[in-house]
Amino acid sequence: MDKPLELKTGTIADAIAALKEKYPGAVKDDSRQGYSGIVVDKSKLVEVATAIRDELGFDYLSSATGVDYFGISDHMEVVYHAYRTSGGAALVFKAQTGRENAEIPSLTPVWPGADFQEREIWDLYGIKFPGHPNLKRILMWEGFAGHPMRKDWKEAYYEEEHKPFGSRWPGGWVHRAEELNVYGHNVTYPADLDLSKLNDASEEALYSGMGLGVNVTQLDDETALKVDRLVVNLGPHHPSTHGVFRMVVTLNGETIELLEPVMGYLHRNHEKIGERNTFLHNMPFTDRLDYIASMSNNLGYALAVEQLLARGARWQPPSYRAEVIRVLMVELTRIVNHYWAIGFFLNDLGAFFTPALYAIAEREKILDFFEATAGSRMMCNYMRFGGVFKDIPERIRGVANLLNDQVRDFNTMDYLTELINDRIPRSIDELDRLLTDSEIIRSRCIGVGYLPPEMAVAYSCAGPLLRASGVPYDVRRAEPYSIYPELDFDVAVRYNGDLYDRYLLRLDEMRESVRILKQVLPRLEATKGQNVFGPAQHTPRVPVGESYGRVENPKGELGYYVVSNGIGEEASKGPQNPWRYHVRAPSFINLTALGAMCKGHKVADVVAILGSIDIVLGETDR
């Protein structure tokens, strides 16, 4: 019988020491410069992971992702970030494998939340996960040749490994990538793919498990009613899938028996593009992930890169005012997002756009402020490493006029004060008053889409989905960043884990955000005149290492796993481009629980459950 691990303190170092003691030889420190955590021998991975979960209490697998070290040390590794739901820092552990026939045992038996993430790693890196119940491509299609995140894989219009690219007109000629790589000759298909049977090939694999055309009730009684299942594709073109998301459902009448999410229709290999970009290039690119909440996306990425930059000599951390502005922006974004989520959740319940339009009316005011500050309403591209791009303006002047030809011209602080103290709370109360006690909403929502807390944690659900199930886990409190430690707010939590509680939780969170914003306003007033952006860092050289920056995005925990590394001289100078840029997208991982939540409910409920998860396809498909 194994001796249980003993922990003197709850620190990560202590946990690592205990693991090393229990599994000598299998667990080693990750001694590379700038790296942290442990490297676990892959043959012992499941065992060690179980110990990490059960004995050390790291019950929440936040992120699992692959990295290809082709050219540096010629191996691939899978990086796991496990957290305790009671809070604290991550236990980072890695498993390494060779690049040929790459295989790492699946951790789905330990954390079911690894399901989609391991499929993604298989899809993009070609690492096989023996033990995974359903290992097939998730973002790319079945007829795709190769695994695109591998460093030796080149895209169709490949130009150069890294930006900034060399001149496209050396010697006066313009060389366009599409002329050098002519269309039609730049695409490869897998050797065994029969192009004429393209659709059959991919769809057969999908439908094979769905029980198409099979009698459900094989009753001996001749008089019994024979029932057939019906397989229906909800999406990718469907008004309520919030984009191009697809659910293949097996129906028994109107009741869902099986649900299989299919995604990747909006996949653009964000991460590969991110590795070609310089560090700063990725900042506007993060806007496009969760396009409702671009400010928060910015912040997560800035935090991840700042962790790396902080190891360098010339680093200046963001000023206090910059942090205050960041929190202002992020909390406004949370309110915007929850307005949106509640409004369109009601649409999914079948309301005819009225609640949605009521909900997003106030959003316009917030976006006006974003526009005046960042220059854009949705794609804000506002944060920078070491601050924000620009201070908030003195006055908000609009190009568009208000009603009655009034020109839009407000003092920014007055505008914000009115917005935060008056308008937003009023409209939240209005939503509450109009929706919360509606009999139809209550009967449609209460008890539907139930997600028990232990399952929510196991499936790595995050954000409102997790907290509505009674797990008070919020990154702003669990592992605080920016100025959150000094702000007074509660982590909103509800205990029933159904649609109604998710809706109520979003209202609660909006109220908490207003509470935060009310504390931000005086700080904003007090720090007037402070610099918001340190030394100009347009193409920073980032010290070698890895970092995981995570923020509590409106939709859940958004994490960026960034590795700065390079080959040869590049590494010693500090690379300009991320070696690895991974996005732990909350929408993507929250979907893992969708199938389980929908089982046994009606078609109408599936749409509502999906709406209550609140996904954005820009982030899900990346």
Partner 1 sequence: MDVCSINNIARCLVNSGFDPALAQFITILLGVVVVASFPLVVVIFLIWVERKFAARIQDRIGPNRVGPYGLLQTVADAIKLIAKEDITPAGADRLVYNAAPIMAVMSVLLIWAVIPFSPIHVGVDLEIGALYFVAVASIATLAIMLAGWSSNNKYALLGAFRVVAQLVSYEVPLVFALLVPILFASSMSMQDIVHAQSGMWFFFMAPVAGLIFFISSQAETGRAPFDLLEAESEIVAGFNIEYSGMKFGLFFAGEFMHVLTNGVLMAVLFFGGWLGPLVEQAPIILGPLYLFAKSTFWYLLSLLIRNTVPRVRIDQLMDFNWKFLVPLSIVNFVVIAVLLRLCEALGIAPAAANANDFVANIPQTLVLLLGNAAIAAYVLNRLRRAGREQRLAEAGRTLAAVGEKAAVAH
Residues lying near partner 1 in the complex (CB under 8 A) = 230, 232-233, 238-240, 251, 253-254, 346-355, 357-358, 361, 438, 440-441, 443-444, 446, 453, 470, 495-496, 602-605, 607
CB 344 within 8 A of CB 256: no
Shortest distance in whole angstroms from residue 408 CB to partner 1: 18
Nearer to partner 1, 386 or 497 (CB): 497
- The Cα 200–Cα 523 span in angstroms is 61
Query: Would you list the DSSP string of 193-248?
Result: --GGGHHHHHHHHHHGGGTTT-BS---S-TTSPP-B-EEEEE-SS-TTSSSS-EEE
Q: What is the DSSP letter of 547?
A: E
Shortest distance in whole angstroms from residue 439 CB to partner 1: 8
Nearer to partner 1, 107 or 359 (CB): 359
- The Cα 246–Cα 369 span in angstroms is 35
Nearer to partner 1, 105 or 235 (CB): 235
Distances (CA, A) of 179 to 7, 158, 161, 359: 62, 11, 18, 48
Query: Would you list the DSSP string of 52-83?
Result: HHHTS---EEEEEEEEE-TTTTSEEEEEEEEE
Shortest distance in whole angstroms from residue 240 CB to partner 1: 4
Nearer to partner 1, 324 or 609 (CB): 609
3-state secondary structure of 20: helix
Distances (CA, A) of 213 to 232, 235, 572: 12, 21, 61
Shortest distance in whole angstroms from residue 542 CB to partner 1: 41
β-strands 230-234, 60-68: how paired? unpaired
- The Cα 81–Cα 19 span in angstroms is 16
Nearer to partner 1, 238 or 281 (CB): 238
Q: 29: Cβ–Cβ under 8 A, 6 or more apart, which residues? A: 16, 20, 38, 39
Q: Which region holds residue 123: left if phi is over 0, alpha if psi is between -120 and 50, else beta?
A: alpha
Nearer to partner 1, 271 or 605 (CB): 605
Shortest distance in whole angstroms from residue 237 CB to partner 1: 9
Nearer to partner 1, 40 or 356 (CB): 356
Shortest distance in whole angstroms from residue 444 CB to partner 1: 6
Nearer to partner 1, 238 or 377 (CB): 238
Shortest distance in whole angstroms from residue 128 CB to partner 1: 35
Shortest distance in whole angstroms from residue 274 CB to partner 1: 34
Shortest distance in whole angstroms from residue 254 CB to partner 1: 5
Shortest distance in whole angstroms from residue 147 CB to partner 1: 34
Residue 245 sits at the vertex; the CA angle it makes with 582 and 469, to the nearest 5 degrees, is 75
Nearer to partner 1, 88 or 470 (CB): 470
Query: Would you list the DSSP string of 309-348?
Result: HTTSSS--PPPHHHHHHHHHHHHHHHHHHHHHHHHHHHHH
- The Cα 162–Cα 180 span in angstroms is 18
Q: Which helix (H) or strand (E) holds 39?
A: strand 38-40
Nearer to partner 1, 416 or 456 (CB): 456
Nearer to partner 1, 205 or 232 (CB): 232
Shortest distance in whole angstroms from residue 91 CB to partner 1: 22
CB 118 within 8 A of CB 129: yes
Nearer to partner 1, 145 or 357 (CB): 357
DSSP H helical ranges for 349-411: 354-359, 361-374
Shortest distance in whole angstroms from residue 232 CB to partner 1: 5
Rg (CA), the chain: 25
Nearer to partner 1, 278 or 496 (CB): 496
- The Cα 183–Cα 174 span in angstroms is 18
3-state secondary structure of 549: strand
- The Cα 355–Cα 475 span in angstroms is 30
Q: 194: Cβ–Cβ under 8 A, 6 or more apart, which residues? A: 201
Shortest distance in whole angstroms from residue 428 CB to partner 1: 17
Shortest distance in whole angstroms from residue 357 CB to partner 1: 4
- The Cα 485–Cα 475 span in angstroms is 11
Nearer to partner 1, 240 or 564 (CB): 240
- The Cα 231–Cα 246 span in angstroms is 13
